[in-house]
Structure 1
Amino acid sequence: MNPDLDLGIDRVIRAPRKVVWNAWTDPAGLAQWWIPAPAVCRVDRLEVRPGGAFITRMSEDGVTFAPHSDMCFLVVDEFERIVFTNAVDSGWRPATPDPISMTAEITLHDHPDGTDYRIVVRHGDPAARDRHAALGFADGWGTVADQLIRFVEAAR
């Protein structure tokens, strides 16, 4: 991780890696935790493979859904790593996402208490990193990581 360009979050999840992996790769599971509550997530496409689509929508009222993300997966190493970006959309077209372009890497490793869960979000320059931090990276991605933890620990 490059501290000038990247932001990160680390958690220990008291659940096996396979359970955490399934929460990432099952559309119904992902919809339960991917967007900070009380907003609601709808997963339109989740093709967890290199080049696969990652498209979600969000709703504040649970009725009207607006676009949330249109990304693609770059790397998928089963039970170990998922890398995706919003710099390329689900149709493999260059994108100019608002508010920032980023590539996220999720890694899962065995831990004596379950799973060592790490998020690294990479940015193209220090200004983009700082903008993402100022927009609430720690709160937003941290909330989502905590929701994932509650979801998988309840499913055990």
Structure 2
Amino acid sequence: MNPDLDLTLERIIRAPRAVVWRAWTEPDRFEKWWVPAPTVCRVERLEARPGGALVTRMSDDGVDFVPHLDATFLAADELERIVFTNAIDSAWRPGSPEQVTMVAEITLADHPDGTDYRIVVRHADRDSRNRHAALGFADGWGTVTKQLAELAEETR
């Protein structure tokens, strides 16, 4: 972790790792927490394997959906780690320059109260990191992590 280039978030989720893993890898569960409510998420593709696609759309009214994320999984180590990037889209083409390009690594570990959930979002340079922070990384990723925890904790 490089504090000049990376943004992080940590949380203890009071549910087993398997439940948190399913929330990340099953489209019907993923849709329930991936974007801050009341915005609605639709999963177009979720292939949690190296080279697999992660494509989502979002809607404020539940009718008109617009592109949200078009990314590629770099790693998916069952029950332990998920890594994806939007630097490469789901068709394996370079990502769009207007977005904040990142590599997100999510790790899951056992904790006496459930799952130790950690996120590191890596950026190529300090400007990209600062832009992502200014766009609301802490609030956005914090909100969806809270939603993930709520889903996992009620379905454990």
Same fold (TM > 0.5): yes
How many residues are matched? Answer: 156
- The yes-or-no answer on 1:39 pairing with 2:49 is no
Question: What's the CA shift string for 1:52-106, capped at 9, x where partnerless?
Answer: 0000000000000000010000011000000000000001111125331000000
Share of identical aligned residues, percent? 68
C-alpha separation between the residues in 2 aligned to 1:115 and 1:145? 12
Secondary structure, in 3 states, of the residue corresponding to 1:54? strand
Segments ≥4 residues shifted beyond 6 Å: none
Trace 1:66-77 onto structure 2 (pairs within 5 A): 66-77=66-77
1:15 maps to what in 2? 15
Write out aligned runs for 1:33-112 (5 A).
33-112=33-112
Asked if the contact 1:86/1:97 (under 8 Å) is kept, the reply is: no
Q: Distance in 2 between matches of 1:34 and 1:152?
A: 13
Q: What is the RMSD of the two structures over their aligned residues, measured on CA atoms?
A: 0.7
Q: After superposing the two structures, state which structure 1 stretch, 90-99 or 70-79, moved more.
A: 90-99
Show the counterpart of 2:136: 136
Paired with 1:98 and 1:110, the residues of 2 have a C-alpha distance of: 37
Seen in structure 2, the aligned counterparts of structure 1 residues 16 and 97 have a Cα distance that, compared at 3 Å, is: farther
SS in 2 for 1:12: strand
**TM value normalised by structure 1:** 0.98
Alpha-carbon deviation of 1:110?
0.2
Q: For structure 1, list consecutive stretches of 5 or more residues without a partner in the other structure.
A: none
Distance in structure 2 (CA, Å) of the matches to 1:94 and 1:107: 25
Shift in Å at residue 46 of structure 1? Answer: 0.3
Q: TM-score, normalized by length of structure 2?
A: 0.98
Structure 2: runs of 5+ lacking an equivalent: none
Task: Indicate the larger mover: 68-77 or 93-102.
Answer: 93-102
